[in-house]
């Protein structure tokens, strides 16, 4: 079976019509479903948070059969993800798409779980520390997209689980957990 | 029964009269009654379609679709002894116009050329129409004695359907054997020369000569046919090919009696529709049950010769098929392409052929184009594309648009498990596709 880096590709990745947006409704719905799942799985395993529509994205072309997705079909598949709440457009022109393989709520839960695991219930961390600190190493939080992290933290702040404050250094913000 | 007195007229499946060789329609009138005051037993035929041809006066029941006890009948013009002129009187102004004529009959009252007795038949023209012009045409047709010229109508009085009449579309083949041609050949040479010269004198003459041209073409065709039979050993395939082509070409020349606005008047589209339904039968067979409207337009007009019809007339004639019980129908594809197809023609059969075609190893791997399908299905590429698009719409195929072109593959999307994208069911079309692709 074909591999894309460490990602195992399904058989139908070599099926040329998979790369043409199908006009017939039933067929198109199935095609979109397959693409949505493949994009989410690929992004999760490869830790891809943002897909740029105009940039080369490995999953969107298959050199083996010389097929690649048109701009129109890329947008169609990503829009389907946006509609499901599994992605968000970062700009009005639909050029960059944030992929949420975990929803914001799930990310927030992951953060809470991480805090409890490490006994950080009442401590203070910077946002950067959560993303790249020693504590988060080996968890899904490690290396996560800052935009998504901030969104998850804001959600928790809203629920009163923590407080975000401006840190001493200008470029970073601090988080005070209070669970 | 009308058949006891009048011979029964043969009709095509679509309600058009089967004309004899050389017979041409002159005028059509609707809602005409036919009766005779002389003989009480003579049937009173009410409100039918009256067709005047060069040979006969046909009366058809108005609704030919429902099988009724009243059948279509005809009166050979050769049996007519006299046509009475219409009386102009105050009384006639308030009546529907009537036309009376005298025919010869047998003592039993059967209309026959050799009959010794005679009978006056009355036509009552109930529709709004120009009686005088019809009467004029009637006179012309009767005086024209076209039945004598064709040399076949000698027994038309007594013979009702006993004669062999070619039923193949409106193209008529004179029933003459090889010996007949040889016998007539000498006089043909002379008359051919003459008719060619006469034909171009003026348009009116050309119209009247068109019929002879058709006969000439058919005779040539027959001659070719007999020629190829006689010397099969001597001719090579190429020669035969051109001869067959020539035959086809000649065969497509003539509708001997095209329905025209002039002859049919208000009944034009209705009669045209029926004639067209008869005509398309053969081309449809050859094209595998479906044919492009444009192709039919060309074929039909070529067969009509000088009496060309407009595309709009063709459309109207086709759309009238819904009202008659014709075996053919007009079909519009989603793309806007219009075709004529047999009602019995089923897409399912074509789809199953497409399915088996795209399931072959090569087609699984590389897909099929419209021209591939055209060759396999034996239809025109444009037609094949319509079929493929229809099959796509049914979920049988899906498309692949790439720099290499527009191709169709068998639809594998429904085969892929939504829960496990790596799962391949054994013996399915999906696993067949995988093995076809991996073997390349």
The Cα A115–Cα B295 span in angstroms is 78
CA–centroid distance for A128 within its chain: 18
The Cα B401–Cα A17 span in angstroms is 8
* Residue B24: pLDDT over 50: yes
| Sign, Cα dihedral of B201, B204, B209, B213 | positive
Q: Single out the residue in B223, B238, B253 at which a domain terminates.
A: B253
On whether residue B161 sits in a domain, the answer given is no
Please tell me which of the candidates B409, B414, B422 has its beta carbon nearest to residue A17: B409
Q: Where are the alpha helices (DSSP H) in B15-64?
A: none
Q: What is the pLDDT of residues A94-128, one digit of tens each?
A: 889 999 988 888 898 988 888 888 888 888 888 88
The Cα A62–Cα A2 span in angstroms is 10
On whether residue B165 sits in a domain, the answer given is no
Which two tokens mark B6? 């009048």
Query: Count of CB contacts below 8 A, A vs B?
Result: 68
On whether residue B116 sits in a domain, the answer given is yes
- Split into its structural domains, chain B has a count of 4
Q: What is the pLDDT of residues A12-46, one digit of tens each?
A: 999 999 999 999 999 999 999 999 999 999 998 88
Banded model confidence at residue B67, pLDDT cuts 50, 70, 90: low
Say if A25 is an interface residue toward chain B (CB within 8 Å): no
Closest residue on chain A to B409 (Cα) = A17
Closest CA to B438 of A60, A34, A14, A19: A14
Please tell me which of the candidates B367, B404, B418 has its beta carbon nearest to residue A33: B418
pLDDT value for B238: 56
The Cα B385–Cα B116 span in angstroms is 66
Q: What is the pLDDT of residues B168-203, one digit of tens each?
A: 344 444 445 666 666 667 676 767 767 766 655 555
Q: What is the pLDDT of residues B84-128, one digit of tens each?
A: 877 666 666 667 788 888 888 887 778 887 777 888 888 888 776
Q: Which domains does chain A have, with CATH numbers?
A: 3-99 (1.10.10.570), 104-177 (1.10.10.10)
pLDDT value for B410: 93
To probe the interface with B, which of A7, A15, A35 has the most B CB atoms within 10 Å? A15
Query: Are the beta carbons of B422 and A10 separated by less than 8 Å?
Result: yes
The Cα B117–Cα B234 span in angstroms is 59
The Cα A120–Cα B87 span in angstroms is 122
Query: Are the beta carbons of A24 and B433 separated by less than 8 Å?
Result: no
Chain B residues with CB-CB distance to A30 below 8 A: 413-414, 416, 418
B48 and B145 assigned to the same domain: yes
Chain A residues with CB-CB distance to B416 below 8 A: 10, 12, 30, 34
Residue B401, min C-alpha distance to chain A (Å): 6
Say if A26 is an interface residue toward chain B (CB within 8 Å): yes
Minimum mean pLDDT range among A100-104, B357-361, B391-395, B424-428? B424-428
Look up residue B153 and give its DSSP letter.
Answer: G
The Cα B338–Cα B351 span in angstroms is 19
Q: Single out the residue in B236, B253, B270 at which a domain terminates.
A: B253
Look up residue B419 and give its DSSP letter.
Answer: S
B12 and B70 assigned to the same domain: yes
Query: Are the beta carbons of A24 and B414 separated by less than 8 Å?
Result: no
Query: Are the beta carbons of A23 and B411 separated by less than 8 Å?
Result: no
The Cα A147–Cα A152 span in angstroms is 9
Q: Which residues pair with B6 in a beta bridge?
A: none
On whether residue B162 sits in a domain, the answer given is no
B23 and B104 assigned to the same domain: yes
Q: Where are the alpha helices (DSSP H) in A133-168?
A: 146-158
Mean of the per-residue pLDDT values for chain B? Answer: 77
Q: Torsion angle, CA of B299/B300/B306/B311, rounded to 10 degrees?
A: -110
Query: Are the beta carbons of A27 and B413 separated by less than 8 Å?
Result: yes
pLDDT value for B157: 40
We report the CATH number of the domain holding residue B305 as 1.10.10.10
B139 and B123 assigned to the same domain: yes
Q: What is the pLDDT of residues B340-385, one digit of tens each?
A: 888 887 788 889 989 999 999 888 888 999 999 988 887 878 888 8
Which two tokens mark B157? 């009085």
To probe the interface with A, which of B389, B421, B422, B425 has the most A CB atoms within 10 Å? B421
On whether residue B421 sits in a domain, the answer given is yes
B211 and B288 assigned to the same domain: no
Banded model confidence at residue B334, pLDDT cuts 50, 70, 90: confident
| Sign, Cα dihedral of B350, B356, B360, B364 | positive
Residue B436, min C-alpha distance to chain A (Å): 12
B8 and B57 assigned to the same domain: yes
Query: Are the beta carbons of A17 and B398 separated by less than 8 Å?
Result: yes
We report the CATH number of the domain holding residue B145 as 2.30.29.30
Query: Count of residues for chain B?
Result: 440
Contact B254, B171 (CB under 8 A): yes
- Tell me the mean pLDDT in the region B165-169: 39
Which two tokens mark B429? 């079309």
Banded model confidence at residue B159, pLDDT cuts 50, 70, 90: very low
pLDDT value for A122: 83
pLDDT value for B175: 47
Return the H-helix or E-strand segment holding B397.
Answer: strand B397-402
Q: Where are the beta strands (DSSP E) in B36-143?
A: 45-53, 56-61, 73-76, 80-83, 98-105, 117-125
Q: What is the pLDDT of residues B28-42, one digit of tens each?
A: 888 888 888 777 778
Question: For a pLDDT cut of 70, what percent of chain B falls above it?
Answer: 72
B279 and B362 assigned to the same domain: no
On whether residue B283 sits in a domain, the answer given is yes
Question: For a pLDDT cut of 90, what percent of chain A falls above it?
Answer: 32
To probe the interface with A, which of B365, B400, B407, B411 has the most A CB atoms within 10 Å? B400
pLDDT value for B281: 86
3-class SS of residue B255:
coil
Q: Single out the residue in B104, B122, B155 at which a domain terminates.
A: B155
Is B316 buried (19+), middle (13-18) or exposed (0-12) by CB count in 10 A? middle
- Tell me the mean pLDDT in the region B393-405: 91
Q: What is the pLDDT of residues A53-88, one digit of tens each?
A: 888 888 999 998 999 999 999 999 999 999 988 998
The Cα A62–Cα A42 span in angstroms is 14
Banded model confidence at residue B209, pLDDT cuts 50, 70, 90: low
Find the distance separating the first CA and the last CA of chain A, reported in whole Å.
47
Chain B residues with CB-CB distance to A26 below 8 A: 395
Q: Alpha carbon of B338 to those of B293, B296, B319, B382: distances in Å?
A: 6, 11, 11, 11
Minimum mean pLDDT range among B52-56, B220-224, B313-317? B220-224
Query: Count of residues for chain A?
Result: 179
B373 and B405 assigned to the same domain: yes
Q: Which residues pair with B103 in a beta bridge?
A: B80, B119
B290 and B178 assigned to the same domain: no
Q: Alpha carbon of A32 to those of A52, B59, B317: distances in Å?
A: 19, 65, 45
Minimum mean pLDDT range among A143-157, B64-78, B218-232, B307-321? B218-232
Q: What is the pLDDT of residues A133-146, one digit of tens each?
A: 888 887 888 888 88
pLDDT value for B125: 83
Residue B296 CB neighbours (<10 A): 22
Structural domain including B279 reads 257-343
The Cα B35–Cα B101 span in angstroms is 11
B191 and B67 assigned to the same domain: no
Please tell me which of the candidates B404, B421, B437 has its beta carbon nearest to residue A34: B421
B145 and B271 assigned to the same domain: no
The Cα A105–Cα B70 span in angstroms is 83
CA–centroid distance for B355 within its chain: 34
B239 and B365 assigned to the same domain: no
**Reported ipTM:** 0.83
How wide is the angle at C-alpha B238 spanned by C-alphas B233 and B241, nearest 5°? 95
pLDDT value for A80: 93
């Amino acid at each position: 079976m074909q591999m894309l880096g460490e990602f195992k590709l399904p058989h139908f990745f070599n099926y040329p019509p998979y790369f043409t947006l199908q006009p017939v409704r039933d067929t198109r719905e199935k095609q979109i479903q397959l693409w949505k799942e493949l994009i989410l799985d690929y992004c999760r395993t490869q830790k891809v948070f943002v897909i740029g529509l105009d940039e080369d994205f490995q999953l969107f072309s298959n050199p083996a059969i010389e097929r690649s997705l048109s701009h129109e079909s890329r947008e169609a598949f990503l829009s389907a993800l946006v509609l499901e709440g599994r992605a968000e457009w970062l700009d009005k022109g639909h050029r960059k798409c944030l992929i949420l393989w975990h929803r914001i709520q799930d990310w927030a839960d992951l953060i809470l779980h991480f805090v409890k695991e490490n006994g950080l219930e009442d401590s203070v961390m910077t946002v950067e520390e959560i993303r790249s600190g020693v504590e988060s190493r080996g968890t899904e939080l490690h290396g996560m997209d800052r935009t998504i992290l901030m969104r998850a933290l804001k959600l928790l702040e809203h629920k009163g689980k923590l407080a975000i404050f401006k840190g001493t250094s200008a470029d970073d913000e601090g988080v005070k957990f209070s669970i | 029964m009308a058949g006891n007195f009048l011979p029964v007229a043969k009709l095509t499946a679509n309600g058009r009269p089967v004309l004899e060789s050389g017979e041409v329609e002159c005028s059509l009138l609707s809602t005409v009654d036919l009766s005779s005051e002389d003989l009480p037993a003579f049937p009173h035929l009410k409100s039918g379609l009256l067709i005047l041809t060069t040979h006969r006066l046909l009366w058809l029941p108005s609704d030919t679709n429902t099988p009724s006890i009243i059948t279509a009948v005809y009166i050979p013009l050769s049996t007519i002894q006299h046509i009475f002129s219409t009386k102009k009187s105050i009384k006639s102004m308030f009546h529907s116009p009537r036309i009376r004529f005298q025919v010869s009959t047998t003592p039993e009252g059967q209309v026959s050329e050799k009959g010794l007795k005679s009978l006056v038949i009355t036509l009552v023209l109930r529709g709004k129409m120009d009686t005088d012009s019809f009467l004029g045409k009637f006179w012309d047709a009767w005086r024209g004695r076209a039945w004598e010229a064709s040399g076949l109508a000698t027994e038309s009085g007594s013979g009702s359907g006993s004669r062999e009449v070619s039923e193949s579309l409106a193209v008529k083949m004179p029933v003459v054997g090889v010996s007949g041609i040889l016998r007539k050949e000498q006089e043909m040479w002379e008359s051919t020369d003459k008719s060619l010269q006469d034909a171009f004198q003026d348009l009116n003459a050309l119209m009247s000569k068109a019929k002879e041209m058709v006969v000439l073409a058919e005779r040539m065709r027959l001659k070719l046919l007999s020629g190829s039979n006689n010397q099969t050993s001597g001719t090579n395939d190429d020669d035969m090919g051109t001869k067959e082509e020539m035959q086809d070409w000649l065969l497509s020349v003539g509708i001997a009696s095209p329905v025209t606005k002039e002859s049919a008047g208000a009944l034009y589209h209705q009669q045209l529709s029926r004639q067209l339904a008869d005509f398309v039968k053969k081309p449809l067979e050859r094209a595998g049950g479906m044919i492009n409207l444009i192709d039919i337009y060309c074929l039909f007009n070529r067969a009509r010769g000088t009496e060309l019809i407009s595309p709009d007339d063709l459309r109207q004639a086709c759309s009238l098929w819904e009202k008659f019980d014709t075996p053919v129908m007009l079909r519009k594809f989603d793309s806007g392409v219009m075709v004529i197809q047999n009602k019995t023609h089923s897409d399912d059969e074509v789809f199953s052929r497409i399915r088996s075609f795209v399931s072959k190893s090569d087609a699984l791997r590389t897909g099929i184009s419209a021209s591939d399908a055209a060759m396999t299905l034996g239809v025109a590429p444009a037609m094949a594309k319509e079929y493929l698009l229809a099959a796509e719409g049914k979920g049988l195929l899906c498309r692949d648009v790439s720099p290499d072109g527009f191709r169709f593959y068998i639809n594998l999307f429904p085969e892929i498990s939504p829960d496990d994208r790596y799962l391949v069911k054994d013996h399915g079309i999906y696993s067949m596709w995988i093995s076809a692709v991996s073997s390349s």
